[in-house]
Amino acid sequence: MTNTPYCFELCTTAFDCDDTKTLLQPVSGEIVFDLTDPPYRPCNGDGDVYTLYFEDADLEKYCTTTDTSWISEQIARFIARFEESLDAAIATIFATKVGTTFDGDSITNLPFFVTNSTTGTSVINHDSMWFLDQNFNDIQGQGQYALIGGKILNKIGTFQKWAGLNDMGIDLAAIPDLNPYLYYDRNMDSILGQTDFIQVAPGAAQLVTWNRYEGEKNRRVTDLYSHGTIVSPATGLPIDWKWRYDFDCEKWYFEASLHAELAVVPPGGCGTAGVNGILRYHECSLTDLVPECPESPES
């Protein structure tokens, strides 16, 4: 549910029974996700769908493990890769949903590092760290924001001694409210570039999913086929799966899929038409992301 902002100013006027009243009616709207688009499925760059399958002849090659153990291990690896690929797909969409600052900028250039004149090494620029908070305050951000990015964000977090979230989203250091929630995602380097990252307000973006094979659609005919939902042990994400056995060819087939959309707060506000709680930053200092060794003196 979204609400339009109340945009007005204050003025000093005397009460008059003949005042012309301008009506200001609250307007709210519901954002609906029907999730009718095709689901995310494993595929190659040409759109060919991948299906994991097992043959009896291949399973007979393993003498120290059972068929069930081997298949379960491969399915676990398959699901882990599914989540990694889903992360890349959603992150690509997320990068297109960046809003603007209070001043209307879609990208904020800040030098997060400066060079120590004595040692020649890079150190954190506290002026930029202050402005990171100030930008969030200017858009009236509430709660503690999160930072999502690749190498440059990881470097900033290391210099600031921020402990972030691991791959399962577990808070590694019971992060106090003084520190942002930090998430390193290596996919962001190819999506945003190695010197950009995103700041997001609580609730500004949310992954919306729907599972086809829950409830009455959950089929468990073990010897022939099964349709169900597996909850990832790493992230808790429920993923649809199909399992089928071809008794003529003696092959097992496993497929995974998930209907998902990214929900983002609609932009808008009083004098802030592009603000949606998602900001992008570009690290523009002259320091190298990766330190380089000096040239060896000629012998």
Residue with tokens 């040239």: 295
Q: Which amino acid is at 39?
A: P
- Give 122's pLDDT tier (boundaries 50, 70, 90): confident
Q: Which amino acid is at 139?
A: I
Could you tell me the pTM of the whole model?
0.83
Q: For 130-140, how does the pLDDT look when each residue is reduced to its tens digit (9 = 90+)?
A: 999 999 999 99
Q: Give me 191's structure tokens.
A: 């999506």
- Give 151's pLDDT tier (boundaries 50, 70, 90): very high
What is the Cα–Cα distance from 69 to 75, expressed in whole angstroms? 10
Q: Where are the beta strands (DSSP E) in the chain?
A: 2-3, 28-29, 52-55, 108-110, 113-115, 122-124, 146-149, 181-184, 196-200, 205-210, 219-221, 225-231, 238-246, 251-257, 259-264, 278-283
What is the Cα–Cα distance from 272 to 276, expressed in whole angstroms? 9
Q: What is the mean pLDDT of the chain?
A: 86
Q: Where are the beta strands (DSSP E) in 180-291?
A: 181-184, 196-200, 205-210, 219-221, 225-231, 238-246, 251-257, 259-264, 278-283
Q: What are phi and psi of 144, to 5 degrees?
A: -95, 130
Show me where the domains of the chain are located. Answer: 63-91+212-257, 97-207+262-283
Longest dimension (CA), the chain: 95
